[in-house]
Structure 1
Amino acid sequence: MTESGSELCSLSFETLIERVRACTLCCHMLPRGPRPVVQLSESSRILVVGQAPGRKVHETGVPFNDPSGDRLRQWMGVSRETFYDERRLAILPMGFCYPGTGKSGDLPPRPECADTWRSELLARLTKIELTLVIGRFAHAWHLPDRQGSVTDNVRAWQQYWPAIVPMPHPSPRNNLWLRKNPWFEQEVVPRLQDRISQLL
């Protein structure tokens, strides 16, 4: 099944989300089959843009239901209850399904998701006031004037403030990055928590 932009524009928000959750565009490329994991509402005020669901998220169908999510919620200063309230917070990864595992972690997000669905979904999220952009694939889409590396983008966070915050991935695999860049948790995280508290 392929969808054209004009066809998607004519759908109600509810029908659009149903189509996304039933998507099988790249099922033949997914080692565990399709299971799109997204969370969004037309009233969402904060958007979290990750990479793609991991294995545990694929199994549970709950976004960021893993150690990465625990750290992300800590950075944001929110509870699980708040984080999973779609009326407040949308979660729209670059790839909606678990892409499988490579030599050094999960494979990149499948490009079909962004190519097919992303622009129309973002157009419907008209109440978003803050977007957290996590990892290099999300940076590539959401930061047209990005600086280069993930570290460079995150260091330039004030350039995008207060509408967008470029972030490293909260995965435990990034512990070394966090040790090398303590300024992120010292400088950026407190400002991020204040901004989120204001919006919620």
Structure 2
Amino acid sequence: MEDLLCKIRDCRVCEDHLPMGPNPIIEATKNSKIVIISQAPGRIVHETGIAWNDQSGKKLREWLGVDDETFYDTENFAILPMGFCYPGKAKTGDLPPRKECAPMWHEEVWKELEDTRLKIVIGSYATNYYLPGRSNLTEKVNNYQDYLPEFWPLPHPSPVNRFWRSKNPWFEENVVPELQKKIRKILA
């Protein structure tokens, strides 16, 4: 696994398309129990090199019901973005993740993981890739049970999505407590 992570972190395939240059963000061990599949690192994560080290990460850890120490323990959580590098700024939020990363690297990462018990799929880019179909992200999140025991779809925890959360209070009222129970069971 460590050799593969080094190869991914050295990747320069998209170098000419990245406004801040490449800085692939990925974290895992062969024993990671939960894999977080998200879209791409943001600017702050790019600058610090620490996955989910921003407001989105703070909200995600709140949803998961874990502290920083638990979250950043790679035996607990692997971080596998759809795009490993910061793609740049869009009108609202960031640009979509680069399309090269997931097809190039994800299958190799899955081959190295030996103890994955849950794949948390965050946002529309990741859910459309891993959970294709006609339903939209809201329907996938609302019907998360349909994807268990392998996957658990979530909206992106970005502050940009605060309107989605206010329009869908059932998510934090009903889904988040069930997710936290599942996480506690896996990490116990």
Same-fold call, TM > 0.5?
A: yes
**Match of 1:27, as an amino acid?**
E
Partner of 1:112: 100
- 1:123 CA drift (Å): 2.0
Q: Which residue of 2 aligns with 1:163?
A: 150
Deviation at 1:147, TM superposition (A): 4.1
What is the alpha-carbon distance in structure 1 between the residues aligned to residue 145 and residue 186 of structure 2?
A: 18
1:137 aligns with 2:152: no
SS for the counterpart of 1:47 is: strand
> Which consecutive residues of structure 1, in runs of 5 or more, have no partner in the other structure?
1-12
Q: Distance in 1 between matches of 2:161 and 2:137?
A: 12
What's the offset of the Cα at 1:161? Answer: 2.1
**Percent of aligned pairs with the same amino acid:** 50
Matches within 5 A, 1:1-200: 13-144=1-132, 146-200=133-187
Give the CA deviation at 1:118. Answer: 1.0
TM-score, normalization: structure 2? 0.96
Report the AA paired with residue 39 of structure 2: Q
Secondary structure of the corresponding residue to residue 13 of structure 2: coil
Deviation of 1:126 after TM superposition, in Å, equals 2.5
Q: Which residue type is aligned with residue 178 of structure 1? A: R
**CA-based RMSD:** 1.0
**SS class of match (1:153):** helix
Structure 2: state its 5+ residue gaps: none
Question: What is the DSSP-based 3-state SS (H/G/I as helix, E as strand, rest coil) of the residue aligned with 1:118?
Answer: helix
Paired AA for residue 151 in structure 1: T
Q: Is the 8 A contact 1:147 1:153 kept in 2?
A: no
